[in-house]
Amino acid sequence: MKIIRWIVLIVCGAILGFNIYNINANRLMRNQLPMPFGYGMATVLSGSMEPEFSKGDLLIVGEPDELKINDIVVFEDGSSLVVHRIIDIQDETLVTKGDANNVADEPITQDAVRGTVIACIPSVGAAIDFIKTPIGTILTIALAILFLELPVYMGKRQDDEELESLKEEIRRLKEDVIK
């Protein structure tokens, strides 16, 4: 049980640390896609990349290497991030398009690309986005503490009941000896 408690505490600490890192990166550094150790996460917010990615999928994004046609990239478009496929490259300019869209996006520069998609975990993005919120973080930590401490409390309660039962048995035996 101690090992499980430590694992849950480490996971909660990692979630809390990651959320603090994200808050600092987003608010202080104006970085919409923090990528510690060269990797980041993004959630698909629309159906523009159907059937490749669906709304709510979690994407693992790596730092962009040499960009080529058919790479799926995450790029900044104003104040939002967009996940689309490169359909044309002209010098330092990229033309992207969502797989489900009929029209290509406005051309972007390679500097706008924040990363390339390296993996997708279906339907997990919504849960991760919730955990990233302050309420989600607090709820996750509260549930973890409840998960860890409830069995300890129940075990202690059972031990106390057994101890009381033993004390009562000792009292009864003492009374029998005295009689």
pLDDT digits (tens, 9 = 90+) for 60-83: 888 888 888 999 998 888 777 888
Identify the band that residue 12 occupies on the pLDDT scale cut at 50, 70 and 90: confident
Give the C-alpha separation, 147 to 4, whole Å.
10
The answer to whether 137 and 22 have CB atoms below 8 angstroms apart is: no
Residue 74 makes CB contacts below 8 A (sequence gap 6+) with: 33, 42, 59, 61, 81, 82, 83, 113, 114, 115, 116, 117
Residue 28 scores a pLDDT above 60:
no
**Does 38-124 carry CATH code 3.40.640.10?**
no
pTM of model > 0.85: no
Give the C-alpha separation, 140 to 179, whole Å.
59
| 76's tokens | 């900044």
Domain ranges of the chain: 1-31+133-179, 38-124
Residue 5 scores a pLDDT above 70:
yes
Please, what is the average pLDDT of the chain? 82
Mean pLDDT, residues 78-98 taken together: 88
The answer to whether 71 and 85 have CB atoms below 8 angstroms apart is: yes
| Separation of CA 168 from chain center | 51
Catalytic residues: 46
Residue 96 scores a pLDDT above 90:
yes
Identify the band that residue 23 occupies on the pLDDT scale cut at 50, 70 and 90: low
